[in-house]
Structure 1
Amino acid sequence: MMIKRLTLLIGMAVLAACTATVPIVETKKETKPYVYIPEEYVSISCVTHGTGYIHSFAIEEPVHSGPIGGRMAGGASCGGIIAAGYALPKTWFPGMKVKVRWNRPIKGVDSWHEKTTNIMRYGEAGTITVHFFSNDQVRVVSSARYAPESPKHPIPEDALIPPPEEQ
């Protein structure tokens, strides 16, 4: 009888050990806090500085949590303003980068180029102008008051050498 009780107690202890709960470790997904950045919808244009004909171009809207990554907005050849509704932060902040794509046909064959560049410092959001220079150098500026033809535009229309790229 003693052996039966001992076997029963050992059996219950083994079963109780099997049903012991293991603590559940919850892994938290790290999320970045949402920061609202006011935007202004602006037009875009482009200027060539001795680079020849640009058939079409597009720039990617900046994503505020990372360097690049919004929708592409673009237009036809340089020289006009495209009312594209490009979303530009109202206030410039360091590290604003955009990806620029452009097509410069060579002997009738499409020749697409792409470069990521900084948006130059601006005080007030305005028309985005993409400036194309030789050797596939690109500068992107925003000017609320001055067109590329104006001497007060950040990059003069007759410039052949791009200004230094700001960080």
Structure 2
Amino acid sequence: MIRFCSEASLRLAVVLIVGCSSQPAKDISSYGASVGIVNHTGKFIHSASVNGGAGGHMEAWGAGAANVCCVSVPRVWSPGMKLLVRWDMPEGSVHVYKQALVEVEKYDETGSVYIHVLPDDVVRVVVSNYDGWSSKHPIPPPKKPNKQLPPSP
């Protein structure tokens, strides 16, 4: 009987240790986020999308609100999370389609997805509750360069 009790106690201890050491369930839920575009270039963006969803346009050096719906985004950020970004920057009347698989920058709370198109086809993606022109947005808004006046004679 003593052997049975000690064997049962050992099994119970193993179950408790294994049960207490397991990882909490990871939140894999997602939500529908609106998409905004921030253009850090001197070229017009005719359209842009994330993972095939949403679309919009943005003037040169423009920053907009996230007012186009929607793309599915995980509620909890995880390292290596990427989204496929496609955009069209026409050259005259010819459409020039581009795309990039972009790692989403770390976010701590849900929000809208913002596509930042920078010179040389560099793209950054952030999740934020602040519009692209806001001083609280994770990436500063674009600034149109000052035109240099020719020197006076």
TM-score (norm 2): 0.68
CA shift, 1:125, in A, is 1.3
1:151 corresponding residue in structure 2 = 135
Quick one: distance in 1 between partners of 2:78 and 2:42?
A: 29
Matched, 1:55 2:46: yes
Whole-Å separation in 2 of the counterparts to 1:132 and 1:51: 11
TM superposition shift of 1:36 = 6.4
Q: Secondary structure at the match of 1:135?
A: helix
Distance 1:158 1:57 in 2: 17
The structure with the larger Rg is 1
Question: Are the aligned partners of 2:113 and 2:126 in contact in 1 as well (CA < 8 Å)?
Answer: yes
Q: Deviations over 1:20-44 (max 9, x none)?
A: xxxxxxxxxxxxxxx8611121100
1:21-40 aligned within 5 A: 37-40=28-31
Please state which structure has a larger fraction of its residues in helix. Answer: 2
Q: Distance in 2 between the 1:116 and 1:110 partners?
A: 20
The answer to whether structure 1 residue 136 and structure 2 residue 121 are counterparts is yes
Cα RMSD (Å) of the superposition?
1.8
User: Cα gap change, 1:95/1:85 in structure 2, threshold over 3 Å: closer, same or farther?
Assistant: same
Q: Distance in 1 between matches of 2:100 and 2:138?
A: 20
Matched, 1:113 2:105: no
Question: Any gaps of 5 or more consecutive residues in structure 2?
Answer: 1-25, 59-63, 145-153
TM-superposed deviation, 1:131: 0.3
Q: State TM-score, norm by structure 1.
A: 0.63
Query: What is the aligned-residue identity percentage?
Result: 32
Instruction: Extract structure 1 runs of 4+ deviating beyond 6 A.
Output: none
Aligned with 2:56 (options 76, 97, 117): 76
Q: Which runs of 5+ in 1 are unaligned?
A: 1-34, 61-71, 161-167
Q: Which amino acid aligns with 2:46?
A: H
Number of residue pairs matched? 114
Judging changes above 3 Å, is the alpha-carbon distance between structure 1 residues 41 and 159 closer, same or farther for their aligned structure 2 residues? Answer: same
